[in-house]
Amino acid sequence: MNEPADTKVWLVPADGRRWRFDPGSVSLAFGYTGDFGHGVEEWESLRGASDLDAWLSERFGPMSAASDSEVLCSAKQLRAAMTSAARAAAVGRPLDAGDVDTINDWASRPALHPHLPGGTTAPTPPTPAQLLATIAHDGVRSLSGARGTIRECTAEDCRLIFLDTSRPQNRRWCSMGRCGGRAKARTHYARHTH
């Protein structure tokens, strides 16, 4: 059986203090390899095909082939559709039909398949395209609400997008250790200074 992909990403905000954020799904984590639709070129981490391969391998393990510039371009198109759809879903807007078509196209392709250990054959390492299809599958489940609800952090100075998989479906912040903790501290300070 394949292990679930790592959904955590490293972010470096304006204060320069690097922190690990868990958006809750590999498709949203993939969105954070770029600017998540904010138009900030410095946030791009997939500058070459080898960057894409490193990101995919880190989450899914060894691959059977390396990406090329065409695969990188396709990956960025999938990422753009996924981030646009996630941003729309987080604020309750309808998803763009073009974004949906791009995600569905990738989700219809051969993806990473499960492998039961204990047999005499090892799993065949996937191609980068299979892993992108796997990300699209995750995106379909996440965007359809099958795994939770896509939300935007309620902190005014944050707006990170995440998949709320909490049982009561009431997660408000990107992280309790970051925005949630700051909100609680502000509330506590306001209560005790009046």
Confidence of residue 182 (pLDDT cuts 50, 70, 90): low
Question: What three-state secondary structure class fits 131?
Answer: helix
CA atoms within 13 A on the CB side of 21: 27
- Residue spans per domain, the chain: 9-193
- CA 106 – CA 75 distance, rounded (Å): 10
DSSP character at residue 48: S
Number of H helices, E strands in the chain: 6, 4
Which stretch of DSSP H or E encloses residue 87?
A: helix 69-90
Which of 30-34, 41-45, 93-97 comes out lowest in average pLDDT?
41-45
Q: Which fold has domain 9-193?
A: Jann2411-like fold (1.10.3300)
Question: What three-state secondary structure class fits 11?
Answer: strand
pLDDT at 179 over 80: yes
Whole-structure pTM value: 0.88
Over residues 61-65, the mean pLDDT reads: 95
**What is the total residue count of the chain?**
194
- CA 186 – CA 110 distance, rounded (Å): 49
| pLDDT for 100 | 98
> Could you report the per-residue pLDDT of 66-86, keeping only the tens digit for each?
999 999 999 999 999 999 999
pLDDT at 164 over 80: yes
| pLDDT for 54 | 97
CA-nearest of 26, 23, 113, 127 to 74 is 127
